Chains A and B, each alone.
Chain A
Amino acid sequence: MLLSETARREAFTTLFSQMSPRLYRTALGMLGNPHDASDALQEAGLKAYRYFDKLQQEEAGPAWLTRILINACYDQGRRRSRTTPIGLEVEQEEAGGLPAETDWELVQALQTLPEEQRTTVVLRFFQDLTVPQIAAVMNVPDGTVKSRLHAALSRMRGQLMQSRREGVQ
């Protein structure tokens, strides 16, 4: 899009502000803790603004921004994995810090999934995208999205069943 500096900034601000809650949810699902999710959201925002001129169609903005966020989450995950094994550091928030409503058990179960499966589940449920929309964001065929979703949800179902059984015993 060829825009003046001010128009460019305004267009980006509108898109980013509208998308930010969905993007943050996605980042939290992907990374498992609010601090990393917030960092990934900021990183994605700055990167998106830098390349905002490359966005051809305004309608493609949300998918484009989501793709940038996913890459930012992958980068964040890689940086983190150099020091901490992924999936072991989901923050259980203390009272007064972050809310009790967040289903941390589920977020933790997500962190044990392989990166691509986790992304698929997060896009499906945290961004409420359809299978074809996820396929477009991840640049894979619909069938791949379905098989990743099936594998991920089967695994999560197994884990949650097991943890429930352990909780009962």
Chain B
Amino acid sequence: MKPHAVGSACHRVQMELDEALATGTLALPAELALHADGCPRCGPEYRDTEALLSRLRGAAAGIELGPVPQAVDKVLDQITREAAPRVFSMVEASAGSPGAQHRQKQVRTRWILGQVAAVAAVLLIAVGGIGYAILKVNEAVSGVSPGDVLAKFASPFRFTDTAKIEKAK
């Protein structure tokens, strides 16, 4: 079949049919509808397109909705059952049942102890580091090794001091 001449009624019908297939709505102007009704070239395509769109619109309305209420009930039953334990646990927590209170107290104590231990560890590391740095600076300035400084500080507390031993004798 020859292609439709551009601008001819058949061509315009074809364009309208293409648009109808792309949007799902066929609204042919009256003069084109009149042409298509009697035209052996574009008429069948026009009628088939119109019939298809009409059937598609009718198909949705014709679908039996019998299974819908049952499916909806099943969903609503299920969510009610799922919601019940959640509501119970929320109520239990808000009402402050003994079990919940005990669990909360345990968790809180464990958390506080953990925090204290972490802070103590950080302080210990910081003091050690700073002390060691000071001793190293002292060694660089005075030539006294960190070990000697520590020994000097520790000497009053040591009974192995020879002078004290002599004195005690």
Contact = CB atoms under 8 A, between A and B. Distances in A.
Given A24-B71, A41-B71, A42-B74, A146 B60 contact: no
A37 B57 contact: no
Contact of B60 (A20, A25, A46): A25
A20 B52 contact: no
A81 to B, nearest CB: 22
B68 A41 contact: yes
A128 B23 CA distance: 11
A38 B21 contact: no
B52 A34 contact: no
A5 B83 contact: yes
Interface in B78-98: 78-80, 82-83, 86-87, 90
Contacts of B154: none
B68 A101 contact: no
A99 B65 CA distance: 10
B83 A46 contact: no
A1 to B, nearest CB: 16
Contacts of B43: none
A69 to B, nearest CB: 12
Interface stretch (A54-62, A84-92, A119-127): A119-127
Contact of B72 (A17, A98, A121, A126): A17
A49 interface: yes
A131 B74 CA distance: 33
Nearest to A105: B55
Nearest to A23: B68
Given A9-B80, A149-B21, A98 B57 contact: no
Contact of A149 (B24, B76, B80): B24
A38 B68 CA distance: 7
A106 B90 contact: no
B128 interface: no
A92 B129 CA distance: 84
Contacts of A102: 59, 62-64
Interface of B: 18, 21-24, 48-49, 51-53, 55-60, 62-68, 70-72, 74-76, 78-80, 82-83, 86-87, 90
Interface of A: 5, 9, 12-13, 16-17, 20-21, 24-25, 28-29, 34, 37-38, 41-42, 45-46, 49, 98-99, 101-103, 106-107, 121, 124-128, 131, 146-147, 149-150, 153-154, 156-157, 160-161
15 contacts: A5-B87, A21-B68, A25-B63, A34-B64, A41-B75, A46-B75, A49-B75, A49-B82, A101-B64, A106-B55, A126-B63, A128-B60, A146-B22, A153-B49, A157-B49
